[in-house]
């Protein structure tokens, strides 16, 4: 039996129920710039990505605008939109069982980590709003590493923070294809896909997670089994 030492959770759609505000905000910022795309198009193309890189990808594929200043302008608009929503939207809440699972992992001396395609400012806003300050051991955002998902650098940064050298002792949990790819690319011993209300279910399962769950509470069974 391999004892898991650290669990790395995605945020939006995995531990935070934010009603896809982040992708709605990307959509709105692109539309504000005259680039037409709907919510489904955004989520299918850049779910789990670093949002600035995702916006750059969408700009390059949906328009003839390649000026970096255009991407910067749209990304800055996105940040203003999403952060205002995250401050004021009354419907944002943690995914059912998140705090309970974090605490139970702590009780097993397992480190709890968040990694995300958000920038640090946005991630901290959400972490503070969820009241997770004492429940999270570490968090890492895609602007703090060379490349975000599906590259393994965020997980590797968290491992280095806790002096974990064997990636088989790490579990990755997420709801986007890039989450599952990230976990495999980092060599995680367990890579878990969230299935409940997942609009990218087919693409997620194509990445061959080692486990799949419908609720965060099921992670505790996996931790005890593996």
Residues 84 and 122 both lie in one domain = no
Residues 81 and 163 both lie in one domain = no
- The residue from 88, 106, 139 where one domain ends is 88
- The residue from 34, 69, 88 where one domain ends is 88
Residues 65 and 160 both lie in one domain = no
How sure is the predictor about 216, in pLDDT bands with cuts at 50, 70 and 90? very high
Percentage with pLDDT > 70 across the chain: 98
Residues 168 and 59 both lie in one domain = no
Give the total number of structural domains in the chain. Answer: 2
Q: Which residues contact 51 (CB under 8 A, 6 or more apart)?
A: 22, 26, 75, 78, 117, 118, 119, 142
Residues 195 and 180 both lie in one domain = yes
Residue 1 lies in a domain: no
Per-residue confidence (pLDDT) for residue 145, from 0 to 100: 96
Residues 41 and 119 both lie in one domain = no
Over range 68-82, report the average pLDDT: 93
Residues 175 and 153 both lie in one domain = yes
How sure is the predictor about 118, in pLDDT bands with cuts at 50, 70 and 90? confident
Over range 59-88, report the average pLDDT: 90
- The residue from 29, 57, 88 where one domain ends is 88
Which residue in 137, 139, 107 sits closest to 126, CA to CA? 139
Per-residue confidence (pLDDT) for residue 124, from 0 to 100: 95
Give the chain's mean pLDDT: 93
How sure is the predictor about 225, in pLDDT bands with cuts at 50, 70 and 90? low
Q: State pLDDT tens for residues 9-23.
A: 999 989 999 988 999
Residue 178 lies in a domain: yes
Measured between its terminal Cα atoms, the distance across the chain in Å is 6
Per-residue confidence (pLDDT) for residue 116, from 0 to 100: 94
Q: State pLDDT tens for residues 151-191.
A: 999 999 999 999 999 999 999 999 999 999 999 999 999 99
Residue 212 lies in a domain: yes
Strand blocks (E) in the chain: 6-9, 16-17, 93-94, 111-116, 138-141, 170-174, 190-194, 211-213
Residues 77 and 101 both lie in one domain = no
By residue range, what is the domain housing residue 72? 21-88
Q: Which residues contact 107 (CB under 8 A, 6 or more apart)?
A: none
> pTM for this one?
0.90
Residues 120 and 216 both lie in one domain = yes
């Amino acid at each position: 039996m391999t004892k898991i030492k650290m669990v790395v959770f995605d945020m939006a759609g995995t531990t935070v129920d934010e009603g896809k505000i982040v992708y709605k905000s990307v959509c709105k910022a692109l539309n504000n710039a005259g680039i037409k795309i709907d919510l489904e198009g955004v989520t299918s193309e850049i779910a789990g990505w670093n949002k600035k890189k995702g916006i750059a990808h969408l700009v390059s594929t949906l328009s003839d605008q390649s000026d970096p200043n255009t991407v910067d302008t749209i990304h800055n608009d996105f940040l203003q939109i999403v952060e205002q929503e995250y401050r004021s939207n009354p419907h944002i809440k943690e995914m059912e069982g998140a705090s309970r699972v974090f605490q139970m992992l702590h009780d097993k001396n397992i480190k709890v980590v968040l990694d995300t395609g958000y920038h640090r400012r946005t991630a901290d806003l959400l972490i503070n709003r969820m009241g997770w300050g004492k429940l999270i051991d570490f968090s890492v955002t895609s602007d703090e590493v060379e490349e975000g998902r599906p590259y393994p650098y965020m997980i590797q940064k968290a491992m280095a923070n806790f002096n974990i050298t064997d990636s088989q002792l790490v579990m990755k949990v997420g709801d986007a294809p890039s989450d599952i790819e990230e976990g495999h690319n980092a060599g995680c011993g367990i890579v878990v896909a969230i299935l409940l209300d997942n609009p990218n279910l087919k693409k997620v399962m194509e990445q061959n997670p080692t486990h799949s769950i419908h609720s965060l509470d099921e992670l505790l069974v996996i931790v005890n089994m593996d």
